[in-house]
Amino acid sequence: MKAREWLEKAKQEQFAIGAFNVGNIETFKAIAQAAANKKSPVIIESSPGETKWMEPENVVDLAKNYSAEYQIPILVNLDHGESLQDCLLAAEAGYDLIHFDGGKLPYEQYLAQLKQVVEAAHHKNLTVEGEIDHIAGSSEVHTGSASTQFQTAQMTNPQKAGQFVKEAGIDIFAAFFGNVHGVYAEGGENLHFDLLRQIAQATNCFLSLHGGSGIPDDQVKEAIKLGIVKINVNTEMRQAFKDTLQKVLQDNPQEYAMYKIEPPVVEAVQKIVEHKIDVFGSADKA
Ligand SMILES: [Zn+2]
């Protein structure tokens, strides 16, 4: 099944597919094992930095290998591609979903390039995700409350979003209705469901939720009921990875074989992914 069919299935059956970032092979292993345990479809994704580090061909090949080994569907998403070039390269390398974030471009230029991406991607039956609100925050652990991020950020305007989706011809719209990237020490992330309802009505396309780390589970479940079908998760996995690695290194100062050090690290990330799959309702859908 192609990405579009998986998203359609998610919409019909009211679940969301987790889009989990990979920055190394250990994270990849953790996601694949979690998906296999839960019999869940998953999207693995790479941000510009992660794509550069992993190299796009490796991301695609690892996805194919793990998908075959664990007998689970793994779709590959370019997360926050920053240029036309980024997006076309990913499509060429074999990514299934392309997210073009035009945050660094003037709107008219972004729209023109996005249309080019849509044309190239649709030619290969790939999906394209766009955004106009430049979802605040970054995939890190922040001090303070998420609400401070909103002081400089605007949430999605449903009418503008509807026009944008129609004009660009995109498949997925990254909605911004109280979600922010990253985890906040004091919490403070609150989704605005009335706004999400209006966005769903105005856009009439697939909707993604960025910043899936740090939002209370019951709010995420409610958002899925209202039409969210793709949820991006990064920070909580990075946090589990780093904290566990630090601990294992401290506890085993004489161990030098990384493959002996890393199993607890993989396990910690896997647990996060398994929990997300449960919350997203995608278990047993593979
Ligand atoms: Zn994002």
**Full pLDDT tens readout for the chain, 286 residues:** 999 999 999 999 999 999 999 999 999 999 999 999 999 999 999 999 999 999 999 999 999 999 999 999 999 999 999 999 999 999 999 999 999 999 889 999 999 999 999 999 999 999 999 999 877 777 778 877 777 666 656 799 999 999 999 999 999 999 999 898 888 887 777 899 999 999 999 999 999 999 888 899 999 999 999 999 999 999 999 999 999 999 999 999 999 999 999 999 999 999 999 999 999 999 999 9
Beta strands in the chain (DSSP E): 17-21, 42-46, 74-81, 97-100, 127-130, 137-142, 172-175, 181-184, 206-209, 228-233
Q: How far is CA 67 from CA 1, 44, 242, in A?
A: 13, 11, 26
Side chain identity, residue 153 = A
Question: pLDDT, tens digit, for every residue of 86-118?
Answer: 999 999 999 999 999 998 899 999 999 999 999
Distance 257 CA to ligand 1 centre (A): 34
Side chain identity, residue 141 = V
- How large is the angle between the packed helices 263-280 and 25-38, nearest 10 degrees? 50
Ion ligand 1: residues, CB within 5 A, are 210, 232
Compute how many other C-beta atoms are within 10 angstroms of the C-beta atom of residue 61. 13
In whole angstroms, give the CA distance from residue 281 to residue 216.
15
Distance 210 CA to ligand 1 centre (A): 5
Establish whether 79 is a catalytic residue. yes
Determine the pLDDT at residue 186.
77
Compute how many other C-beta atoms are within 10 angstroms of the C-beta atom of residue 76. 26
Determine the pLDDT at residue 253.
97
pTM: 0.95
Which H or E run contains 115? helix 107-123
- What tokens were used for 80? 């926050």
Distance 36 CA to ligand 1 centre (A): 25
Determine the pLDDT at residue 113.
98
Determine the pLDDT at residue 219.
96
Side chain identity, residue 133 = D
Q: Out of 79, 86, 101, 133, pick the active-site residue.
A: 79
Q: Name the residue with tokens 């605005």.
A: 192
Determine the pLDDT at residue 149.
64
Q: Name the residue with tokens 């920070």.
A: 235
Determine the pLDDT at residue 153.
64
Determine the pLDDT at residue 92.
97
**Mean pLDDT, all residues of the chain:** 94
* Residue 45 Ramachandran class (φ > 0 left, ψ -120 to 50 alpha, else beta): beta
Distance 135 CA to ligand 1 centre (A): 7
In whole angstroms, give the CA distance from residue 286 to residue 167.
33
Distance 99 CA to ligand 1 centre (A): 9
Which CATH superfamily, name and number, covers 3-280?
Aldolase class I (3.20.20.70)
